[in-house]
Structure 1
Amino acid sequence: RTCPGGFSHNDMQHASQTLHCAMGTNFKHGGGGRMADALATGRGNFDVHSFSLAGKAPWSEGEATRRSVISGSTSTGGFKPDAKVQRIIDNITQIEFSSVFAKEYVNQFDESVNAYKAVSAALKSGDSLLQNRNGNYGPLGSLQQVARLIAARHMRRAKRDFFFVGIGGWDMHTNVNGGLNSRFGQVDMGVRAFVA
């Protein structure tokens, strides 16, 4: 069957990440998030972490499992805003808003900052082999970040992890063979981050 409303790239991405066409319902949570929920609330009662390295893509968001939106950058510098930026952050997060949207913005902002701090701390203490590994993974540096998060799983006390990584550039209208060869070469470079 066809998926109604799949007219734009955004509609198609949302449909594939939430599986709402395949399931016949309009889910707001993603496929990965629902799997994470099942593991977290099932018999094993696993400590499950879900990450999006591609912004607020819905795939990794569950009902009980909140996704952490983190950077695909491999930096472990931590969150160290200067005084000017810290004043701006304090101004945003300490105001009492009456708007539901403003409150949600503050909640999302706080969650992002806290996730970034926690992930940075875990990555700093992760596998030294991955810490010191050099290489230009180009647009697929986020796969190296995933490898580092997996290596730091014990520091994060995670039993299961879900990752969503967005890799663009596959919508080719000309020179498909050359384009695919180039993209798969980049994927190969990114997968090397998993090989010690």
Structure 2
Amino acid sequence: MKLNRRAFLKGAGAGVAASACASGLASSLFSFPAHAQSQGDYKALVCVFLYGGMDAHDVVLPYDQASYNQFKQVRQSLLTIQGSARQRENLLPLNPISHKQGNRQFALPPEMAGVKQLFDAGDAAIIGNVGPMIEPVSKAALEAKAVKLPPRLFSHNDQQAIWQSSAPEGAQTGWGGLFADHAASSNTGKTFTNISTDGSALFLTGNTVQSYQISTQGAAKIGILEHLSEDTEQAELEAALRHHFGKNTVNYDHLLHGDMSAILNNAYSANSAFDRATQAATQSISTTFPTGQLGGQLNAVAKTISLRKELGVSRQVFFVGMGGFDTHSNQAKSLPALLTQIDQGLVAFSQAMKEMGLHNNVTLFTASDFGRTLAVNGDGTDHGWGSHHFVMGGAVKGNDIYGTIPESTLGHERDAGGGRLIPDISVDQFAYPLGRWFGVSDAHLQHALPNLKHFTAPPLTFL
């Protein structure tokens, strides 16, 4: 193979992109301990972000006959398209232990039979009507414009950022990263504290800890080196480039050159260290994960958790992203397939944690831009606000619904219009028990969750 200049530059550019994205500036990256922290001391949070806005009305469904009839009246046009899948007799009824919702009953859709089993077994809980808020919001205050609201409500990019960081697009740190800032001191391999399978993640960006990115196949690769390694005639050039990416002793007069060099060198070293950890792995996983967007990423997370000893970590935060939830149209066809992916992925991940003996050590939770309207726009739904989310793991006080599930009608006190739910629980309130369980101090939680001080309700107790 002959490598011309254009091919070389193209490959080198890909290598720079992969390396620069793989890790931020870091120090003391790769001195691994000779033995692992005790398994009981390990903890991980896994955020599964559902991009586009999850229609919670079609996930936690009303089941008692009166509520279902109300729901059917509002959603008749969409239910007709959905057919038997949303008929009451085909739903999966829940029996939460607290019955905090009075006489109202709820169910999951038939695509989520596995999650229902996790819920019934006490391994999963539902948190009702969560969304970004600066301070508590009532319908009267909303209509009178007498309350502070998150900026640019119903905007995908801004609400994704606010969910992850309590600030709109352009935010610099996320609450997962700020949690990790506090917890990273217990890790020898600090670079591997925060790991994303979904590219650069605001959620994982802290003041001192950055995210390390992996693919579903493991560590990111430098394109030019992979290209060269295919041809033994290029061995000398490959060796030179590997030396270049791996060194960190070059002095640059220009500050930006030095920073870019440090990013590349650290990224290359991080990838090499991750590969070495993979090769030295002492724990394997036999659980079979489903193929697809979510299953592949959760498989990568599980495999990375299995390397906790080799990576030198006792606290980790993961970010997984899944798209497709902006269901303005064709919802009856697209959403069930997405829910099937969620169901199969979460069940496999739960099984993998049990297989590794880490069922009580890893807590997974879902998040999304916003919920969607109860009202139908034809064959889809529009941008909403509050939504319902799952929390899963052995530490979760499961088989229960926390918060409230508003009525499946229009015009009630939590309806901002069209069945767009006014949240009962803020993202900061939702995040607080996750941080406490993870080991973050109250003082640091107040810093990571700046709107928490505006809410006086007792903390959620799902962990």
Q: TM-score, normalised by structure 1?
A: 0.75
1:77–1:20 CA distance, 2 compared to 1 (3 A): closer
Match of 1:12 in 2: 159
Structure 2 CA distance for aligned equivalents of residues 51 and 4 of structure 1: 28
* Alignment equivalent of 2:174, drawn from 18, 30, 36: 30
Any conservation in 1 of the 2:283–2:307 contact (CA below 8 Å)? yes
Matching of residues 121-160 of structure 1 within 5 Å:
121-124=276-279, 125-130=281-286, 135-140=289-294, 141-160=296-315
Any conservation in 1 of the 2:245–2:268 contact (CA below 8 Å)? no
**Corresponding residue SS for 1:20:** coil
* Alignment equivalent of 2:209, drawn from 62, 65, 84: 65
Does structure 1 residue 178 correspond to structure 2 residue 322?
no
Quote how far apart the aligned CAs of 1:27 are.
4.8
Any conservation in 1 of the 2:194–2:211 contact (CA below 8 Å)? yes
In structure 2, stretches of 5+ residues that fail to align are: 1-147, 230-234, 353-463
Please list the CA deviations of residues 24-69 of structure 1 after superposition, one character each: whole Å capped at 9, or x if unmatched.
Answer: xx851111010111223xxxx4226111221111111211222212
Structure 1 CA distance for aligned equivalents of residues 326 and 290 of structure 2: 24
Any conservation in 1 of the 2:246–2:265 contact (CA below 8 Å)? no
In structure 1, stretches of 5+ residues that fail to align are: none
Q: TM-score, normalised by structure 2?
A: 0.35
Match of 1:106 in 2: 261
Paired amino acid for 1:167: M
**Corresponding residue SS for 1:164:** strand
Structure 2 CA distance for aligned equivalents of residues 53 and 163 of structure 1: 8
Match of 2:448 in 1: none
**Corresponding residue SS for 1:70:** strand
Please list the CA deviations of residues 166-185 of structure 1 after superposition, one character each: whole Å capped at 9, or x if unmatched.
Answer: 11111111132432211111
Same amino acid, percent of matched pairs: 26
1:134–1:2 CA distance, 2 compared to 1 (3 A): same
* Alignment equivalent of 2:319, drawn from 139, 150, 164: 164
1:104–1:169 CA distance, 2 compared to 1 (3 A): farther
Any conservation in 2 of the 1:92–1:106 contact (CA below 8 Å)? no
Quote how far apart the aligned CAs of 1:151 are.
1.4
Larger gyration radius, structure 1 or structure 2: 2
Structure 2 CA distance for aligned equivalents of residues 148 and 105 of structure 1: 30
More strand by share: 2
Any conservation in 1 of the 2:213–2:219 contact (CA below 8 Å)? no
More helix by share: 1
Structure 2 CA distance for aligned equivalents of residues 2 and 115 of structure 1: 41
* Alignment equivalent of 2:272, drawn from 117, 138, 142: 117
**Corresponding residue SS for 1:128:** coil
Structure 1 CA distance for aligned equivalents of residues 165 and 327 of structure 2: 24
Paired amino acid for 2:316: D
Match of 1:56 in 2: 200
Please list the CA deviations of residues 55-84 of structure 1 after superposition, one character each: whole Å capped at 9, or x if unmatched.
Answer: 11111121122221222x135798774245
* Alignment equivalent of 1:74, drawn from 201, 214, 217: 217
1:77–1:96 CA distance, 2 compared to 1 (3 A): closer
1:137–1:86 CA distance, 2 compared to 1 (3 A): farther
Structure 2 CA distance for aligned equivalents of residues 182 and 85 of structure 1: 44
Structure 2 CA distance for aligned equivalents of residues 106 and 5 of structure 1: 38
